[in-house]
Structure 1
Amino acid sequence: MKTLLLIEAWGLISVIFFGLAYMTPMGLFTSYGIVEEITNGMIPAAYIVALIVMSFTVYGYGQMVKAYPVAGSTYTYAQKSIHPNVGFIVGWAFLLDYAFASIINSLVMGLYLHASIPSVPMWVWIVLFLIVVSTINYLGIKLATNINTIIFIFQVLVLVIFAGLCINGILNGQGTGVLFSVTPFFNSESAIIPIMSGAAILCMSFLGFDSITTLSEETKNPEKTIPKAMFLIILIGAVLFIGISYLAHSVFPDFTQFNDLDVAGSEIALFIGGNLFSAVFLSGMIIGVLGTGIASVAGMSRLLFAMGRDGVISKKIFGYVHPKYKTPTNNIIVTCIIALSSLLIDLTTAVSLINFGAFVTYIAVNVSVISHYYIRNNKRTFKGTILYLIIPFIGGGLNLWMLSRLGETSLVIGGLWLLSGILYLAWLTRLFTKRAPEMQVADIQNGKLENKNVTA
């Protein structure tokens, strides 16, 4: 049985840094200008809504990783808790999530570097970026996490300077001229629908928490480490996102003055710190996107590995592990090839599509909790009903609402992607007359090589 186990398993701190690097603190500027316009300047309020939704989902992930501490994340949870065919569709949606994470990273890297050095075509930056992140992942996950730890620390330092310059500017009359105000959170002109629509996009900012579930086979005591790490990741991320977005809005409250909403962060940096800090900010964005790129490629390559190992996609190609580096090298290459589609898509559409895949999988993980604990394992006491029915039901409902707030284009493209998965599954299962292939968790943990189709 091929696994991704390391000689030295990951501990809590390493997993948190990996998740935060995937989340990338400076990633809030990826969609900052877009969401400022959608929410009419209420981006901090939208972040709070996104945090509430993600908290319910993190709870669901925490329950499921205790039951199935193996690679595959939501794909595995739905496969084992609901049905292998449902697991396949969830994994298919999860692929959209991770694929567009890589696409967005490539696109943001190209946008910011091209804006800084217009003489170099954007596609050149994108190709160079993908070569770097694929090489780092190819050489091993330990190298990737060490680099990401350094990247995360650098981003935090840039954000601290950014916050300091914002505060200094506000105190000297820039922007609103008021350091403490509830207006970005609530005011008489605020409307719940735009805030919810903004939150639907901002949920992307928290995606780092679920990436760590794909590392369950490489983590020490994953049943305890992964759930704890997920809650800490979203809490740390929320503090950064809400605080920085509040200060950014306060020092530059009129989003209509941005020349380009896609690179609004750079315009604010230039406004508060001049050319010197603008260069520092650009460095932070580049390095931050590099960290996210490394983590997103690692996450998708391991999801492909889990699906390939199970035989739902080519086991020979996607279930391969490099004998020396112990990484799913074929999947790393495939992920980077997919990311090249960033040359053909705009940032707004890419952000919405990553959230389509995310919300579908988040709904699935909440349903998996109900199916596994409340239905299959009969956890129906008063406490069990609250923990395994009511809480995940609320979580699933909130994510369904977020899904409905995405744009029509995203819903159509995402729906077509799911349809293609259903058609492939129909072929794979001979028009649903048999179950999709799946790997027994016991086989994974015992190191066996064979796949087993589990009959009903």
Structure 2
Amino acid sequence: MAQQKQTVSASAEGGTASLHRTLGLWNLIIIGLVIIQPTAPMGIYGVISNKANGHVVTSILIAMVAMLLTAISYGRMARVYPSAGSAYTYVGQEIHSAFGYVVGWGMVMDYLLNPLICTAFCAKAAMNILPGLSYYVWIVIFAAFFTWVNLRGVKTSARMNEALCAGMVIVVAIFLVSVVRTVWHMQHDPGFFTRPFYDPQSFHPSSIFAGTSVAVLTYIGFDAVSTLSEEAENPRRNILLATVLVCLITGLLSGVEVYAAQLIWGSKPFPSNQVESSFALIARQAGGALLFQIINFTLLVANMGSGMGSQLAAGRLLYGMGRGNALPKSFFGAIEPKRRIPRNNIVAVGLFAFAGAGILEFFSSRLGGGAYEIGAEALNFGAFIAFMGVNAAAFVHYWLHGRNRNLSHLFVPVLGFVICGFIWVHLSRPALVLGALWMVAGITYGAIRTRGFRSELVTFEVPPEEA
């Protein structure tokens, strides 16, 4: 995640330190796009295509509608809680602390699964470069590397992230030019250019929503804009606009990328052992071996950055839970004094990523998908709980308790909740089972610790980075 320089200023009257509001609308949009990354749909293209019978564009656009509605709810709630910027805070404050806990526990699932799916993806991408090493050797290498980097306290600067983002835009442009050149020399039937949106031979509503349940992963991270409320100029206006525009730009750019890919590949399914490399395979068909390696390497680097960042974030969240006594404080609430990092948690997340990537891959034939595919959908299980929670909180605050109601305060959160809920129930059976087991375990644990949620268990806020 990009780190924005924080300028501290003194209040003219009281001398109290506060964050300087320097981020304009465009700054917020750039930060959001850097967090999501321009290649977001490439890694999950094969998973969406297989589930949606080739209708990747349609799935991406439906997911964009759901995320735009949810983005409006996020932006509105950021006005009410400008320093919190978290779904569980919105739900806990507006509805009930127990529901806030449930949303927070779902978010913990996201934080833990993100390093897992990045480890699985990087292993498959690396096998395209050095196929002599097996998947299980690569997950050891990447899980160990991510852990080693985070144990050293290494941070990725905003400038490096922006440079990486710019490089990805260039790679996307090269890919699109290659597709145009390839399509120019192809034979086209009358439905060639509209088939990526709708192919009557393979279209089925249930498969579209199954694909959409994965396509939403393209937009994960848009809500991070709301955490910058205290550093934004005119946050009541710009946070809402930036959150919505980040979703819109991401959806349109992603739609162009996957539309171009579908023109080349069509609706052919990808073999289960090649689903992580799907976009690289399309690139090879459009631009040869060189473009294959460029796309493959770009996605490998992007997921390495995401893997390291998500592991550190997961370690920090577990530290916040340990510090709040939701988990054993002696282990999860400990800070390594030299580098001031939650060392135990970082190691635990690394071991979880390695073990989870290996176990899910081992049982992939029985579960009906690879480790990356199952992990991605299970991650969305928790994400959709958070999205539904934010829409519900916005409905309660602005419609049930609001003084200046208008129809958008009713329809936006209700439609956002319904669409997110409909997509949520169309997750695959393995993802629903894994998610349900996780939620039952968390709710049971929370109920026992709080005597039926009659006392506060934990505040799920990630503590700020110490200077």
Question: Which TM-score bucket, shorter chain as reference?
Answer: 0.7 to 0.9
Q: Which amino acid aligns with 1:391?
A: V
Matches of 1:328 and 1:212, distance apart in 2:
25
Can you list the C-alpha shifts for 1:80-132, whole angstroms capped at 9, x where unaligned? 22222221111111111222222111110001101321212334433443455
Matches of 2:230 and 2:346, distance apart in 1:
17
Identity %: 27
Provide the secondary structure at the position in 2 that maps to 1:112.
Answer: helix
Match of 1:344 in 2: 359
Of 40, 62, 65, which residue of structure 2 is paired with 1:27? 40
Matches within 5 A, 1:279-294: 279-294=293-308
| CA 1:70–1:223: 2 relative to 1, 3 Å | same
Match of 1:262 in 2: 276
Matches of 2:276 and 2:45, distance apart in 1:
8
Q: Which amino acid aligns with 1:342?
A: A
| CA 1:69–1:205: 2 relative to 1, 3 Å | same
Provide the secondary structure at the position in 2 that maps to 1:182.
Answer: coil
Of 251, 261, 265, which residue of structure 2 is paired with 1:248? 261
Between stretches 151-160 and 290-299, larger displacement belongs to: 290-299
Shift of 1:436: 3.0
The answer to whether 1:371 aligns with 2:384 is: no
Can you list the C-alpha shifts for 1:306-347, whole angstroms capped at 9, x where unaligned? 545554345665566778877666554443333222222222
Can you list the C-alpha shifts for 1:386-442, whole angstroms capped at 9, x where unaligned? 24333111111111100111111211111111000111111210233334344999x
Between stretches 36-45 and 294-303, larger displacement belongs to: 294-303
Between stretches 292-301 and 43-52, larger displacement belongs to: 292-301
Kept in 1, the 8 Å contact 2:151–2:341? The answer is yes
Can you list the C-alpha shifts for 1:195-224, whole angstroms capped at 9, x where unaligned? 1221111001110212444x4488446655
| CA 1:301–1:226: 2 relative to 1, 3 Å | farther
Provide the secondary structure at the position in 2 that maps to 1:118.
Answer: coil
Q: Which amino acid aligns with 1:272?
A: A
Aligned length: 435
Kept in 2, the 8 Å contact 1:33–1:264? The answer is yes
Matches within 5 A, 1:284-363: 284-308=298-322, 310-314=324-328, 331-340=345-354, 341-345=356-360, 346-363=371-388
Matches of 2:321 and 2:78, distance apart in 1:
17
| CA 1:391–1:321: 2 relative to 1, 3 Å | farther
Matches of 1:240 and 1:373, distance apart in 2:
32
> TM (normalized to structure 2)?
0.82
Match of 1:273 in 2: 287
Kept in 1, the 8 Å contact 2:78–2:85? The answer is no
The answer to whether 1:11 aligns with 2:26 is: no
Can you list the C-alpha shifts for 1:3-57, whole angstroms capped at 9, x where unaligned? x995576835665455434423323122212222222221111111010011111
The answer to whether 1:99 aligns with 2:112 is: yes
Matches of 2:77 and 2:228, distance apart in 1:
11
Q: Which amino acid aligns with 2:296?
A: L
Unaligned runs of 5+ in 1: 446-456
Match of 2:437 in 1: 416
Shift of 1:294: 3.9
The answer to whether 1:182 aligns with 2:194 is: yes
Match of 1:425 in 2: 446
Matches of 1:62 and 1:403, distance apart in 2:
22
Match of 2:363 in 1: none
Kept in 2, the 8 Å contact 1:27–1:289? The answer is no
Match of 1:449 in 2: none
Match of 2:174 in 1: 161
Between stretches 37-46 and 428-437, larger displacement belongs to: 428-437
Matches of 2:231 and 2:330, distance apart in 1:
25
Provide the secondary structure at the position in 1 that maps to 2:397.
Answer: helix
Match of 1:150 in 2: 163
Q: Which amino acid aligns with 1:269?
A: A
| CA 1:294–1:18: 2 relative to 1, 3 Å | farther
| CA 1:337–1:147: 2 relative to 1, 3 Å | farther
Matches of 2:316 and 2:242, distance apart in 1:
19
Can you list the C-alpha shifts for 1:268-293, whole angstroms capped at 9, x where unaligned? 12112222222211211112212322
| CA 1:257–1:421: 2 relative to 1, 3 Å | closer
Kept in 2, the 8 Å contact 1:21–1:208? The answer is no
Of 77, 89, 114, which residue of structure 1 is paired with 2:90? 77
Between stretches 241-250 and 125-134, larger displacement belongs to: 125-134
Match of 2:413 in 1: 392
Matches of 2:68 and 2:457, distance apart in 1:
31
Between stretches 39-48 and 335-344, larger displacement belongs to: 335-344
Q: Which amino acid aligns with 1:424?
A: Y
Q: Which amino acid aligns with 1:183?
A: R
Q: Which amino acid aligns with 2:280?
A: S
> TM (normalized to structure 1)?
0.83
